[in-house]
Amino acid sequence: MLKGILRSLFGSRPIRAPFHDPVLGLLEPAETGWTVKVVKGAETFEFTIGGAGEPDAGLLAHAHDILDDYPSFKKAVKDCVEYESRDYPDEVRAELARLEIDNIALIWPARPNDGMVFFRGSEKDVGLWRCDYIDRKPMGLGCDT
Look at residue 118 in the predicted model and tell me its pLDDT.
97
Pairing of strands 128-134, 33-40: unpaired
Q: Give the three-state DSSP class for 42.
A: coil
The percent of residues in the chain predicted with pLDDT above 70, rounded, is: 88
By the 8 A CB rule, do 74 and 138 touch? Answer: no
Strand arrangement of the beta sheet that strand 115-120 belongs to = 19-21, 25-30, 33-40, 43-49, 100-106, 115-120, 128-134, 137-144
pLDDT at residue 145, rounded to an integer: 78
The Cα 74–Cα 135 span in angstroms is 16
Would you state the pLDDT for residue 13? 56
How many CA atoms lie less than 13 Å away from 86 in the CB half-sphere?
5
Tell me the CA distances in angstroms from 10 to 2, 4, 6, 33, 97, one per residue in order: 12, 10, 6, 18, 43
Say if residue 39's pLDDT is above 60: yes
Q: How confident is the model at residue 2 (pLDDT cuts 50, 70, 90)?
A: very low
